Copies of this chain bind each other. A is one copy, B any other.
Amino acid sequence: MHFISEQLLDDGVLAREFTLGETPGTLWTPDSAAPVPLILMAHNGGLHRREPRLVARARYTAAQGYAVAAIDHPGHGDRPRSAADEQARADLRRAMRAGEPVDEIFESFVGPLVEKAVPEWRTSLDALLALPGIGGPVGYAGMTAIGIRLAVAEPRIAAAGFFAGGYVPRAQREEARQVTIPLLFLLQWDDEGNPRQRALDLFDAFGSKEKTLHANPGGHVGTPWFEVEDGDRFFGRHLK
């Protein structure tokens, strides 16, 4: 893990850009003498890890006493997009506008992303936990499909917040029953890209004894800020 820049923010949070092999990432850490728990924050939709609303959440969470790491998955942010990725995204947008079924396009696009991203998260986790000031346990927050795979494959993940689980690849829908860590499952009730009933079915399927669903009205990007605070309290119960 090579740190390539750092910036001390006005809330006392240190933001450091890093690379790990081909993976670019950002690590936000609070001003803390004691080691802090780590939260892996994952996003989708081709978004950049420097997208302002993702950064605002990461900074706020770091200021509550967590190390927060985000990476750009293959085809996201700073990383090259393949022609196949671009085509799949264009197909997805077109099909959604036309109200056509999107499962197969989604599967062809997100299935491989999960397979590529999860090993990168595990390598990142090794490197992050070797840094001074970062202790276990580890939480995961964000994109549902990657989170399911990581929660099943990676025993160091102790609790997870999943967002927008309407479309999830078949493999992860099947793995949901194997997820047993405490979950906070966050749903936008009118999410244009995530069918509500499928998200509710996925919540039902998780094997976790402690799982909580939070749902709010509005579309994909309309999550109210208080859910960020609720998420941090959820992690506080399980990681601190």
Interface residues of A (CB under 8 A from B): 189, 200, 203-204, 209-217, 224, 226, 229-230, 233, 237
Q: For the complex, what is the distance from the CA of A229 to the CA of B236, rounded to whole Å?
A: 13
Cβ-defined contact, A215 with B213, below 8 A: yes
**In the complex, which of the residues B214, B226, B229 contacts A214, with contact meaning CB atoms closer than 8 Å?**
B214
Say yes or no: A217-B211 contact (C-beta < 8 A), given A200-B200, A204-B189. yes
Cβ-defined contact, B224 with A210, below 8 A: yes
Chain B positions within 8 Å of A203 at CB level: 215
Cβ-defined contact, B210 with A212, below 8 A: no
What are 24 of the A-B contact pairs (CB < 8 Å)? A189-B204, A189-B213, A200-B200, A203-B215, A209-B217, A210-B216, A210-B217, A210-B224, A211-B216, A211-B217, A212-B214, A212-B215, A212-B216, A212-B224, A213-B213, A213-B214, A213-B215, A213-B216, A214-B214, A215-B215, A226-B233, A226-B237, A229-B233, A230-B230
